Structure 1
């Protein structure tokens, strides 16, 4: 009885730990006091920016939620909006934190003008009766730049999923959902109406749910049931704040680059900021939805080595796995298509009936489906020949297969693959019976080494590079002929 009780406690403890210690052990069980608002990751970046030579006076009339979406619920939607309606206030706070802009009140301009009229009326009455020399009310600041834009989209459930398992009354599961918010910000010159710069930022919003439960009879007529879990939702307001702050950061740096304004700092610091931003911009341009990062990765040439197992499918029963080793090289015509050749040493075995070593030469055409991503499936097919170790028998064959490759760096890739080889003959295992030719399978793990420059993603760039290579080859050939002519004896 005690053993079972301790076993139950251990299972529940493991379930709790799997549910996530951080969120689980920080549950809100007391009333919290008011606190200063949280900062995002971009807030510190804005505050650490070098100061400008002269801050720019900007006006923000309205930075609106342009989505018009209402908050979704399980029964439909409510009258609450999906995103905050205070984006203007968030933008003004980001402008203040950056120290590059002097925001002036324009969202509630009518209130400001009414208050100034009250001040004028009061001073007028005061001057009549007591102080005729009261100074005039100073004029309002006017903006050289107006910031426009807004929250242009809020996409819900762009990714949903989960994972769970249950065994013998013990179970746990997790679910997640990802939303996405998009912000546009543009700077407009008040003197000409020209749009000086437009920036675009997106931010994902993550929601997670974890739960674990236990349901089991521990003894006769004694049922133990336990359940725990939590849900964690990224605040939409924080996501909006981070996206707007990132838009302000992008506006400042691109404005420096286009000489719309200047930093009061040394040239090296400014160049470092612009270089880091361009690297981030290049990564963003090559990243598609769902964080799929596209990049020029694989070189034009590669060599590979693979090791694994071979399995015969012939005329004998009880085939056994044996060793297989392969080495070869690839040449890419374009990022998707390559041709490769390899030599293969392997052994085929049937239990107590057949065992022999073989050598094979394979020539394949291979297609890489996702050449600009780290993880990519590939498929191949081709022909070759198989020889016994003593080369007394030779067979022709066709082979096809596929696998997955993961690039651990720009030059090194790891792969797993399977190959099915169909022999044009039925005597690979020294016996011929039935109508079907002999076959065998290879299952292997490989190491690929890429060299030469990565192949360009853009088709026009690849074509131009090829044309430049042809011109360079022609120029070298012409120079070679000229040198040859110059070396001829004059007569």
Structure 2
């Protein structure tokens, strides 16, 4: 008992050692701010022939939300109030823009007035050739917009298990922020482009515990765990950097500015952006999309077992094989024509083989997802190897399919077969017809789908 308890405790420690290796056990020094995945993409963009002078007066939090707590909310805002500074940094990193000070323009003008008055008051000579203050830059375009939403708990969930005083659990939560960034011409006030970007924020926690009596008088209790929260500020930074990248690329496509790169380099860069936009256009909430993954035609191969329910007692599982041809007339519905070879058996009583031809109408509940449950129903006819004992039947079932790629899927399913005969087990007894279950595990190959290429 003691050895098993120690081994179980050691297992718990190993399972959560990742948290321990990262524990802050001392005072940490200041570091330069972390970059995001969008930062490197922004820096690697092709450079412009000429930088654009841009002004940002205010890029603010427009959500009006306060940080939620278990007791309600606090006066601390849910998202950062320094989004303007983040946007200015992103504009500098891109090397496409020359940001000018507009958020605190009053401070800049006051300082310039102080310089002028100081020079006038303390100038020893009135030399007209003395250098004057250079004029302020004026912006060719303005950037407006802000953080327009912060949605909490768009997905929550978890999993846990406990056995003989030992247990573990995990929980997660996903929030989401959305920003809008628009480009405005200062010459005529026209809105040249608007970009919408959203970013999810993930929070996770893992807990493990052990509560066990080592002996009748000694109780062992161990708890461990960790929580990881994605910083909201980094999520805002990544969303803003992505929006700046979108503005630049849209400007290239609409010939608002020119790129210092070859035609082939620009085309390759734009193609990747258009592909990403197309994927985003068909995307749905929770990382799902409306893109058809399966081709019109597929071939299915399945192996499994059958389980007889007839007039004999003590049924035993017997093997089955299935081959099917599927045709999708919509993303959710398909017709499946199959040939099945299977055996039925009861202990010391029955061991017979059958073949069947089935036609099913299948309905995929989540046709655009990688994992989808499905249900089906149809009819068929079964017969033995000598084409005798033939009987009609109906069948229905349910299963789950996982797409490894758009051409290959694995599935597991269960099926109930209702026969219009009481002679399936070669015994006619009672008033109820015979029936049997089939359980299968297999794969489906979908032929290549022709995808229209919209990238020009």
What is the TM-score normalised by the length of structure 2?
Answer: 0.95
Could you tell me which residue of structure 2 aligns to residue 73 of structure 1?
A: 69
Could you tell me which residue of structure 2 aligns to residue 10 of structure 1?
A: 7
Choose which of 45, 62, 70 in structure 2 pairs with 1:49: 45
C-alpha deviation, 1:432, in angstroms: 2.0
Choose which of 19, 36, 47 in structure 2 pairs with 1:23: 19
Could you tell me which residue of structure 2 aligns to residue 97 of structure 1?
A: 93
Distance in 2 of aligned mates of 1:341 and 1:278: 40
Could you tell me which residue of structure 2 aligns to residue 451 of structure 1?
A: 447
Could you report, residue by residue, the CA deviation over 1:329-349 in whole angstroms, capped at 9, with x for unpaired residues? Answer: 122222222222111111110
Conservation of the 8 A alpha-carbon contact between 1:335 and 1:455: no
Question: How do 1:46-445 and structure 2 match up within 5 A?
Answer: 46-127=42-123, 129-133=124-128, 134-445=130-441
Could you report, residue by residue, the CA deviation over 1:83-118 in whole angstroms, capped at 9, with x for unpaired residues? Answer: 000000000000001110000011111111122222
- 3-state DSSP of counterpart to 1:228: strand
- 3-state DSSP of counterpart to 1:116: helix
Distance in 2 of aligned mates of 1:313 and 1:145: 77
Conservation of the 8 A alpha-carbon contact between 2:305 and 2:317: yes
C-alpha deviation, 1:455, in angstroms: 8.9
- 3-state DSSP of counterpart to 1:293: coil
Could you report, residue by residue, the CA deviation over 1:55-88 in whole angstroms, capped at 9, with x for unpaired residues? Answer: 0000001001000000000000000000000000
C-alpha deviation, 1:261, in angstroms: 1.2
C-alpha deviation, 1:190, in angstroms: 0.6
Distance in 1 of aligned mates of 2:228 and 2:408: 38
Conservation of the 8 A alpha-carbon contact between 2:19 and 2:225: no
- 3-state DSSP of counterpart to 1:338: strand
Distance in 1 of aligned mates of 2:329 and 2:336: 11
Distance in 1 of aligned mates of 2:222 and 2:436: 52
Could you report, residue by residue, the CA deviation over 1:166-214 in whole angstroms, capped at 9, with x for unpaired residues? Answer: 2222222221111111111110111111111111111111111122222
Distance in 1 of aligned mates of 2:335 and 2:118: 88
Which runs of 5 or more residues in structure 1 are unaligned?
A: 457-491
What is the TM-score normalised by the length of structure 1?
Answer: 0.88
Conservation of the 8 A alpha-carbon contact between 1:379 and 1:401: yes
- 3-state DSSP of counterpart to 1:35: coil
C-alpha deviation, 1:394, in angstroms: 0.9
| 1:45 to 1:323, Cα distance in 2 relative to 1, 3 A | same
Computed over aligned residues only, the root mean square deviation of the Cα atoms, in angstroms, reads 1.7
Which runs of 5 or more residues in structure 2 are unaligned?
A: none
Could you report, residue by residue, the CA deviation over 1:298-319 in whole angstroms, capped at 9, with x for unpaired residues? Answer: 1112222211111111111111
C-alpha deviation, 1:263, in angstroms: 1.5
Distance in 2 of aligned mates of 1:220 and 1:381: 58
Distance in 1 of aligned mates of 2:161 and 2:448: 47
